[in-house]
Structure 1
Amino acid sequence: MVDIDSERIRIILANIEYEIIEEIGVLSENARGWRKELNKVSWNGRPPKYDIRDWSEDHEKMGKGITLTDEEAEALKKLLD
């Protein structure tokens, strides 16, 4: 079992920088207005990746999500076709 210092986690998460480079589409929206979106996002100044996650209406808060490289997104597209 791993003991995680939750205060340390909060500090690390507070220092994450992101920029939504391209808003591609909304997959769904819940009753509270949060939307599961597909976007191209740059995390901490790195090259943008495809990103699927829940966002608040103003994009100030986010839920857990997944990022995909261009190659991974293409592989996912082939699997879904």
Structure 2
Amino acid sequence: MAEIKFEIQEQLGVLSESPKGWKKELNLISWNGRQPKYDLRDWDPDHTKMGKGMTFSKEELIQLKKLLNELDL
């Protein structure tokens, strides 16, 4: 399997933390040298291991924000 390279360019916030120290984070990440995207996933405490996640362009994140604002929470 090819190595995945990433660079966390900006840590935007933590949504939750597990008892084992893994954190669900929203970050701005460049994957394999590409244009950075907004990324939501679980990370171990030293950011060497990660869980499955989702990446969003700026436009997708804006649309997601609109959808969330419409929810009656």
TM-score (norm 2): 0.92
Aligned mates of 1:42, 1:70 — CA distance in 2: 13
Q: Highest CA radius of gyration, 1 or 2?
A: 1
Question: Number of residues paired by the alignment?
Answer: 69
In terms of fraction of residues, the more strand-rich structure is 2
Runs of 5+ in structure 1 lacking a partner?
1-10
TM-score (norm 1): 0.84
Percent identity, aligned pairs only? 61
Give 2:5's aligned residue.
Answer: 17
User: Counterparts of 1:1-80 in structure 2 under 5 Å?
Assistant: 11-12=1-2, 15-80=3-68
In terms of fraction of residues, the more helix-rich structure is 1
Cα drift, residue 69 of structure 1:
0.3
Amino acid at match of 1:56: D
Cα drift, residue 34 of structure 1:
0.1
